[in-house]
Amino acid sequence: MATYLLRRLLIAIPSLLGISLILFTILALAPGDPFSEMATNPNVPPEVREALRASFGLNDPVMVRYLRWLSAMAQGDWGFSFASRINVDDLILQRVPTTLFVVGTSQILALCIALPVGIYAATRPYSVFDQIANTLAFVGFSLPTFFTGLLLILLFSIKLDWFPFVYRSDIAASGWRWYWEMFRQAIMPITVLGLFQAASYTRYVRSAVLDVIRLDYVTTARAKGLGEKTVTLRHITRNALIPVVTLVALQMPAVFGGAIVTEQIFRIPGIGSLLIDAILANDTPVIMAVTFVFACLVVLFNLIADLLYGWLDPRISFR
């Protein structure tokens, strides 16, 4: 187990290096300039723009810039954002709580819907409930979040005037009022993300349960005279959920990475909107840091998923 872990971690290093190199090169080759806004401004002489580029090291060759970035990163210096001139790690840490709250809650919501619905639908395949659940699931994941998001805004914010559609991280209230305001502003984005995720989870849970439900040990359990509830929960669900756990573990980087589209629509100050803003502003250090952290998380959670798998299913051994 320990050697397996060590080996996996060692393998992760070259792959992360490769990822960072590719990311950096693509960003360097992509057109754009963090100072493009100054380009049409006659008040800023071109020399000032050039001096700024030089002082931010943008005129050096790509490889020099990459090595500089890499050595700084290795020493824990993430660099500073060109757009806000503050340290990138501060910028990211500011965004993490909101993203964790919104995307995390939506994942929980998705599981709360998908597990019961998926299991129930699988125990009664092709019943009316299953048909409806299936149809809704298809509708759910074929509607993109930017569409459902706008739909909810038009309905609940503009027509009914129930919820605000601009998410504010500073709510000027305390106590219960604060929780109430937080709930009001978060309900729409969480619903949008949660339902979308729930739709695909439901399909997954249903098929996983269906795979298990026909196995012999389930029939044995029933033959022993166990109640239907016990059979479903203890015998079927437990085994069916092993692949689902992996799926959820692999979704975890997304929880940190934020939901780019939804965050943009509801103006949620999360990692996703940070990334989009950085891309639009050609803020290379921020783009690099966010995507690199994301890459690290993917690698890490892949490893965790593999470990979890072995722990849940003792038949799998690590070699």
Q: Which residues bind another protein (CB under 8 A)?
A: 31-33, 35-52, 55-56, 80-81, 83-86, 91, 94-95, 153, 157-158, 161, 164-166, 168-170, 172, 264-265, 267, 269, 273-274, 277, 280-282
Report the distance separating Cα 112 and Cα 207, nearest Å: 17
Q: Considering only CA atoms, which of 1, 79, 85, 69 is closest in space to residue 35?
A: 85
Report the distance separating Cα 87 and Cα 93, nearest Å: 10
Comparing CB distances to another protein, the nearer of 37 and 313 is: 37
CB of residue 257 to another protein, shortest distance in Å: 16
CB of residue 229 to another protein, shortest distance in Å: 47
CB of residue 182 to another protein, shortest distance in Å: 14
Comparing CB distances to another protein, the nearer of 98 and 197 is: 98
DSSP 38: G
Phi, psi at 180, each rounded to 5°: -65, -45
Residue 179 tokens, joined: 């929780």
Report the distance separating Cα 47 and Cα 268, nearest Å: 37
Comparing CB distances to another protein, the nearer of 27 and 199 is: 27
CB of residue 51 to another protein, shortest distance in Å: 6
308 residue type, one letter: L
Rg (CA), the chain: 24
Report the distance separating Cα 253 and Cα 151, nearest Å: 27
CB of residue 67 to another protein, shortest distance in Å: 22
DSSP H or E stretch at residue 55: helix 46-55
Comparing CB distances to another protein, the nearer of 3 and 40 is: 40
Report the distance separating Cα 133 and Cα 121, nearest Å: 7
Comparing CB distances to another protein, the nearer of 50 and 228 is: 50
Residue with tokens 């997304």: 254
Q: Is 98 left (phi over 0), alpha (psi -120 to 50) or beta?
A: alpha
CB of residue 47 to another protein, shortest distance in Å: 8
Comparing CB distances to another protein, the nearer of 37 and 228 is: 37
Phi, psi at 295, each rounded to 5°: -60, -45
Comparing CB distances to another protein, the nearer of 201 and 294 is: 294
Comparing CB distances to another protein, the nearer of 15 and 41 is: 41
The interaxial angle of helices 88-123 and 176-213, nearest 10 deg, is: 50
CB of residue 184 to another protein, shortest distance in Å: 12
Q: How far is CA 176 from CA 102, 158, 179, 190, 268, in A?
A: 19, 25, 5, 20, 22
CB of residue 129 to another protein, shortest distance in Å: 38
